[in-house]
Structures are given as structure tokens and as C-alpha cells.
């Protein structure tokens, strides 16, 4: 049988399982390289080697995608706007190093005005 006809038969077998030809083609090419163009090993047991290799490659791809997603979620940047509670903690910890006058000014400010603190200090000092 000619290689083209063998490839058609392989695609027909995988289509019967609902697998698209575009997804099977790279797997088939890899198997042909691996088996040194020996079609008998691929055709044996109704293309079982091809079908198994396809599902293994799909599974390994899914595993690597999940790993990639997990790495991104672990190294995710914190949000740009901290929550209100975090802002209050940041303000109180930053006031520890302030002079008495700066503490009075910053204690009278609400967390929303924290960006204005520096501007008002620049005006006074």
C-alpha cells in the first residue's frame, strides 16, 4: 500500500473516534519517525499505537498547560489597589517613623486621602 493510502486509512480510523485529522497528523509523523517508517507497527490492532500516542500527547499537553496556569497563579502580581484594611495598616505603620506634627496631620486624614499626605507635607515643610 502507498504511504498516502496508509495515511488516509489512519485518518479514517481516528475520525471514527471523533479526532480531527489536523490533530492526528503531527502524532502520526512522530510515530513514523520513531518506527523508522514501519507502517505495520502503526496499523497493528486497528491503529492502536496511533490512537494511544494521540491521547498521550493530548494528556501531556493538558498537564503542561495546567502546570503553566498554576505557575502563573502562584506568581501573580498583587492587585494595584489594596483593600481598605490593608491601607489602614500601611498608614499606621508608616506613621511610626513620622514626626509629631506629621502624625497629627496624617491622623486627621482618611485612607482615601493618603495620596494627598505627601502633597500637604511638601507645602508645610
Domain assignment of residue 79, yes or no: no
Residue 11 belongs to a domain with what CATH number? 1.10.8
**Looking at residue 108, what is its pLDDT?**
43
What's the pLDDT score for residue 64? 73
Both 65 and 93 in a single domain?
A: no
Encode burial over 85-102: b for 16+ CB neighbours within 10 A, e otherwise.
Answer: eeeeeebeeeeeeeeeeb
Give pLDDT tens digits along the chain (125 positions).
Answer: 688 999 999 999 999 999 999 999 999 999 999 999 999 999 999 999 999 999 999 998 887 766 666 666 555 555 555 555 555 555 555 555 665 545 544 444 444 444 444 444 444 54
Question: Both 65 and 92 in a single domain?
Answer: no
What's the domain range around 7?
3-74
Domain count along the chain: 2
Positive or negative torsion for Cα 98, 100, 103, 105 = negative
Q: Give CA–CA dist 107/102, Å, rounded.
A: 8
d(CA 37, CA 18): 25
Same domain, 70 and 91: no
Amino acid at each position: 500500500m502507498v504511504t498516502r493510502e496508509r495515511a488516509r486509512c489512519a485518518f479514517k480510523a481516528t475520525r471514527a473516534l471523533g479526532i480531527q485529522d489536523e490533530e492526528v497528523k503531527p502524532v502520526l509523523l512522530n510515530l513514523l519517525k520513531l518506527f523508522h517508517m514501519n507502517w505495520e507497527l502503526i496499523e497493528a490492532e486497528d491503529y492502536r499505537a496511533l490512537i494511544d500516542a494521540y491521547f498521550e500527547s493530548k494528556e501531556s499537553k493538558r498537564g503542561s498547560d495546567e502546570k503553566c496556569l498554576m505557575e502563573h497563579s502562584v506568581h501573580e502580581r498583587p492587585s494595584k489597589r489594596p483593600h481598605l484594611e490593608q491601607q489602614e495598616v500601611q498608614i499606621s505603620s508608616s506613621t511610626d517613623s513620622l514626626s509629631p506634627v506629621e502624625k497629627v496631620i496624617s491622623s486627621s486624614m482618611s485612607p482615601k486621602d493618603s495620596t494627598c499626605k505627601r502633597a500637604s507635607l511638601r507645602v508645610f515643610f
